[in-house]
Amino acid sequence: MRPFTYTPPQDDVKLIHLDAHFLVVDKPAGLLSVPGKHVHLQDCLETRIQTSYPKARIIHRLDTATSGVMVLARTPHAHRHIGLQFENRQVSKTYIADIWGCPNKKSGIINLPLICDWPNRPLQKVDFDVGKPAKTEWQTLERTETLEHIEHTTRVRLKPKTGRSHQLRVHMLELGHPILGDNLYAHDDAFNAATRMHLHANKINFRHPDGGAQLEFVADCPF
């Protein structure tokens, strides 16, 4: 496993939406969603947001290395209402990723059960016996030709239908095309092909906790 030092970015977190019930932000890559156990891991998205909105609470998470759209509740009702939408798989999420190589199809569905690789945590692995169901839809957006030492990379749109830890990262690995810059799962060439992990939560759709109107929020891809 490659060494990791937590050096969170110091830029302000971009606010996408704010109302009395919840707020939506664009989390930068390299920032924890919630505090870690140690003192040096206390700086995170939730604590930063709480400096301006003390009652804001995380509803869902993104991996530290992943950037993109996240929702925080401002009231217990909003936390419960939106949280149940996540639990019942009523929230639609779309990610953009750059992967190593070129898949031989333009789109597909990956349906591989996942579980923590306990001796090697936080790594996750496919396990058909005790793994939890995990499903990802993917679609090719564009291919990039040779760039220096990189033969080919492909930009894909990913739509997770479940919310397992590291789901998109492991599913792309199992497809044979790891995400560029992924310090946990990418081989050396794919890891060195980017200065950060090229995985971004681009879009989220859910219902407003007050009235049920369908909402969509977008965070532009930064790579």
Residues with active-site annotation: 63
Task: Classify residue 4 by its DSSP letter.
Answer: -
Q: Is omega for the bond preceding 122 within 30 degrees of 0, making it cis? A: yes
- What separation, in Å, do the N-terminal and C-terminal C-alpha atoms of the chain show? 25
187 CB-near residues (< 8 Å, 6+ apart): 100, 178
Phi/psi at 17 (5° precision): -150, 145
User: Is the backbone of residue 84 left (phi > 0), alpha (psi -120 to 50) or beta?
Assistant: alpha
H or E element, residue 175: helix 167-175
Token duo for residue 131: 């793994």
